[in-house]
Structure 1
Amino acid sequence: MATTPSPFSFRDYRFYWCARFATTLAQNAMVVVIGWQVYDIARRTLAPREAAFHLGMIGVAQFLPLAALTLITGWTADRVDRRWIGRIVLLVEALCAAWLALLAFHNTTSLAAIYVVAALLGVCRAFANPAIGALAPNLVPAAVLPTAIAASSVAWQTGAIAGPALGGYLYAGAHWMPYTVSTILFLVASGSLMFIGPIPKTELDRKANPWRQMIDGLSYVRRNRLVLGAISLDLFAVLLGGATAMLPIYARDILHVGAEGLGHLRAAPALGSAAMALWFAFRPLKRDVGVKMLVAVALFGACTVVFGLSRHLTLSLACLAVLGACDMMSVYVRQSLIQIWTPNDMRGRVGAVSTLFISGSNELGEAESGFLAALIGAVPAVVLGGLGAIGVTILWSRLFPELVRARTFDPPTTLENMPGEEMAK
């Protein structure tokens, strides 16, 4: 019986994996410090609820440019060499990190400067995610793709584990250090993409109406109800259950563990996610993918509720770890569906739509949590969000029965479930 080769047996995938890891490590080292600085600066002059409002605004600053550019960035990823998009965007992120390092070195960091950088990072993500995400299927055979997705998730989650702790410890040593290290990591990531060889060119019609082509990504997702259900479930569940946005408040005012404790809290969800991703890398999910995704999202909401009520660091870390593992299950199913079902010349545009949904759940989830915490307090906001995630799971199991019926990642053969152009035939 033939065995499926490892994705790491392919040279270009190894460079891709390194770029993925370095990027995630840099981004998460910055994120934890940015969140701490925003809340800390705001708390010098404002009460906790008013300071929480500024945490929410950081999410808005990152989401708005991404939402505005979604159609353009997806179309660009299907028209321009995806390697060069990733290379250039990572260089811009390196410049953003270098700017924050310079401000921190001179002790001139301000909320306005952080908002500007957050918006620039939102623009970078808008271009990078569809392009870099669409690269993986071009680097390995289709049979290896689910394992490659899981291995890529390991890189992402490992960086998400180490990044917050790295950022917290470096910030404790010197406020400019995490940004300096992130600058170097972004340069390493961009350099890794330089070593990836030529990839297949997309067959996008160069004479067709660009606006029509941009909208095709939205149309594809709308017609493919299984992909739409998976993406939208993740959107609303994480949007409501975004407890991670409140971690600076929990670290400073509820659990009283400081900046280093915040690093541990930010790393806990990623630790659970990495463990789940590592499991999938060796034991890919094959059966009852839809039902398992629904159960995982419901458990995600339950862990959010317990975390919101916890006053003990150990219990809080455990809840966040399980929460992260459940989120990884959802990510794995969603990404596998998108990559396996979507044709190569559509992956950039569909990936951009997915990025919009992901950013909507993350950045808007942070904004929603911050604004709600400003109104009713952090603990009620987190608990209500977790209950909302459970409610969304129940509702989606009824609105999208395709999720319940999804047994494997294999595309359906029935005409009514075929996406895109196949439905029009």
Structure 2
Amino acid sequence: MFSSLSVRNYRLFLIGQIVSNIGTWAQSTAQDWLVLSLTGSATAVGVTVALQSLPMLCFGLYGGVFVDRWNKRRTLLATQAWLALTALTLATLIFSGEVQVWHVWLAAFVVGLTTVVDNPARQAFVSEIVDNSQLQNAVSLDAANFQFARLLGPALAGVMLASTNAGTAFLLNGLSFVAPLAGLMLMRASELHCVERTSRTKGQLREVLRYVAGRSDLLWTLVLVGLVGTFGFNFPVYLSAFADDVFHTGVGSYSLFNTMMGVGSLAGALIAARRGSAVKRVVVGSAFAFGATEVVASAAPSQWLFTLFTALIGLFGVTINVTANTCVQTGTAPAMRGRVMALYMVVFLGSSPIGAPMAGWIADAYGARVALAVGGGISAAAAIGIGFVLSRASRPRQGADGFGNHPDAQSVQH
């Protein structure tokens, strides 16, 4: 389960990410509740999520081109420092009492612009820290640390919101970036599996699109991830609306929902870390289970039952992410990995500008239960449809894993 921790550079990377992710989750929880407090609107929360994700949708592929051209370690040093500065700036506005919702929206957009480069760089950098035999384990542990932070971050945010204000959470996040910055600087460059950087040429965006279009295993995985991300992963909207409008229990319940989702997500990530390899059957099956659980959770008659369902949603959700992430990384040629992972982040995170405002509008107009049921139903239907397409596409092929994963997936034909 923890084999990749034998690599010193990965230990430094993981420790830094754990500390930073705790701050990120604390800020995310505080940010959603701050917007809801300032506006009283679930739609405004959806707009915040959309603004943070919009840059990924618009510029994500350009971020992947940049990542393939430049040193990923130095790139991460720059992006992590900028994220820290953004959090500290908003903390100052909150403590001064001058914060307005447009400040939060602007900060969310700036964070989104930074993650256009930061996310694909972090995803692709893992494959330079460990070798391919350890990649599934490293990706799973990275997801597990993110979910472990999800346990602590919302809980800390709940305490801070109850005792002080949202500014404390933003301050915590800003200071937490010291850990990943220190970890990156302490890494031994000689032990990294550096990939030859791509030279600056024309047509590099078209090249990655042609590459993915010619690989049905990558293409349909990305389509499924995009549909589930668009309609099912709007948790800031769903959970804040259930806490505020359905159960009328406030920020304490919202923090509890996030924490329990983190419990399930951590369990799912650790289970994935024990799995020897990633296959499409797991991606499709977990996507269906994720959607079906959201539909059932939407009808939960009591808060305690809904809280239990959030843990299951977290478990299936992180299984989709970890398994799809690993399938895409291990099935992509190293020279294309930054751009393909940028495309992965575009369809997964960049879908929020479409899904989050839509989910917020449904929640405001028809209620949180209907919004969650619609998102889950679409996710489950997408899993059934794409699973059927993948199973039919793989029938004529020999040597695949049952869903079109050929053993020679690392090869590239130009």
TM over 0.5: yes
Which aligned pairs between 1:232-247 and structure 2 lie closer than 5 A?
Answer: 232-242=223-233, 244=235, 245-247=237-239
Following superposition, the deviation at residue 274 of structure 1 comes to 0.6
Residue 345 of structure 1 aligns with an amino acid whose one-letter code is: A
Counterpart of 1:126? 116
Following superposition, the deviation at residue 155 of structure 1 comes to 0.9
Following superposition, the deviation at residue 72 of structure 1 comes to 1.8
Match of 1:22 among 19, 22, 28: 19
User: C-alpha separation between the residues in 2 aligned to 1:262 and 1:85?
Assistant: 35
The C-alpha deviation readout for 1:252-274, integer Å capped at 9, x for no partner, is: 22112221221111122221111
Matched, 1:75 2:58: no
Counterpart of 1:37? 34
Match of 1:249 among 232, 241, 245: 241
Change (3 A) 1:135 1:52: same
In 2, are the aligned partners of 1:255 and 1:311 still within 8 Å (CA)?
no
Following superposition, the deviation at residue 410 of structure 1 comes to 10
Following superposition, the deviation at residue 121 of structure 1 comes to 0.8
User: C-alpha separation between the residues in 2 aligned to 1:146 and 1:270?
Assistant: 20
Q: CA RMSD in A?
A: 2.3
Match of 1:97 among 76, 87, 104: 87
Which aligned pairs between 1:386-397 and structure 2 lie closer than 5 A?
Answer: 386-397=376-387
Change (3 A) 1:222 1:378: same
Counterpart of 1:193? 184
Following superposition, the deviation at residue 421 of structure 1 comes to 3.7
How many residues are paired up?
406
Following superposition, the deviation at residue 246 of structure 1 comes to 1.9
Following superposition, the deviation at residue 368 of structure 1 comes to 2.2
3-state SS of paired residue (2:188): coil
Counterpart of 2:148? 158
Matched, 1:272 2:264: yes
Match of 2:218 among 224, 227, 232: 227
Identity %: 23
User: C-alpha separation between the residues in 1 aligned to 2:168 and 2:57?
Assistant: 31
* Length-normalised TM-score, structure 1: 0.89
Following superposition, the deviation at residue 205 of structure 1 comes to 4.7
Following superposition, the deviation at residue 403 of structure 1 comes to 8.4
3-state SS of paired residue (1:400): helix
Change (3 A) 1:413 1:286: closer
Residue 387 of structure 2 aligns with an amino acid whose one-letter code is: S
User: C-alpha separation between the residues in 2 aligned to 1:347 and 1:40?
Assistant: 41
In 1, are the aligned partners of 2:57 and 2:346 still within 8 Å (CA)?
yes
Counterpart of 1:206? 199
Residue 271 of structure 2 aligns with an amino acid whose one-letter code is: W
Residue 223 of structure 1 aligns with an amino acid whose one-letter code is: G
3-state SS of paired residue (2:199): coil
User: C-alpha separation between the residues in 2 aligned to 1:183 and 1:315?
Assistant: 35
The C-alpha deviation readout for 1:202-248, integer Å capped at 9, x for no partner, is: 33452532xx1233222222222112212221221232223512211
Change (3 A) 1:39 1:388: same
The C-alpha deviation readout for 1:366-405, integer Å capped at 9, x for no partner, is: 2221122233232212112211212111111223337877
Following superposition, the deviation at residue 412 of structure 1 comes to 1.0
Residue 266 of structure 2 aligns with an amino acid whose one-letter code is: A
Counterpart of 2:169? 178
In 2, are the aligned partners of 1:269 and 1:323 still within 8 Å (CA)?
yes
* Length-normalised TM-score, structure 2: 0.91
Which runs of 5 or more structure 1 residues have no equivalent in the other structure? 44-50
User: C-alpha separation between the residues in 2 aligned to 1:260 and 1:26?
Assistant: 18
3-state SS of paired residue (1:342): coil
User: C-alpha separation between the residues in 2 aligned to 1:321 and 1:205?
Assistant: 42
Counterpart of 1:258? 250
3-state SS of paired residue (1:135): helix
Change (3 A) 1:318 1:278: same
